[in-house]
Amino acid sequence: MRAQFEAMGLAMIVILIALGMLLFVLFGGGDKGDAPARYETRQLAQNTVSAMMKTSVPECKIQYEDLVADVALYQRNPCQHLDENTSIDLIGNITLKVLNSTLDSRQIRYNYTISELKQTNPSVHGTVYYTAGGCDPRVENVEPGTRIIRLPPSSKTVEVRLWIC
Any contact of residue 54 with another protein (CB under 8 A)?
Answer: yes
Cα within 13 Å of Cα(126), Cβ side: 12
Which C-beta is closer to another protein: that of 8 or that of 124? 8
- Rule CB under 8 A: which of 87-126 touch another protein? 94, 97-98, 101-102, 106
Any contact of residue 132 with another protein (CB under 8 A)?
Answer: no
- Rule CB under 8 A: which of 13-42 touch another protein? 13-14, 17-18, 21, 25, 29-32, 36-37, 39-40
- What does the buried/exposed string (b/e) look like for 140-164 if buried means 16 or more CB atoms within 10 Å of the residue's CB? eebbbbebebeeeeeebbbbbbbbb
Q: How many residues bind another protein (CB under 8 A)?
A: 39
Any contact of residue 146 with another protein (CB under 8 A)?
Answer: no
Task: Please tell me whether the peptide bond between 153 and the residue prior to it is cis, using omega within 30 degrees of 0.
Answer: yes
**CB-based contact 63:53 (threshold 8 Å):** yes
- Which amino acid does the sequence have at 99? L
Any contact of residue 52 with another protein (CB under 8 A)?
Answer: yes
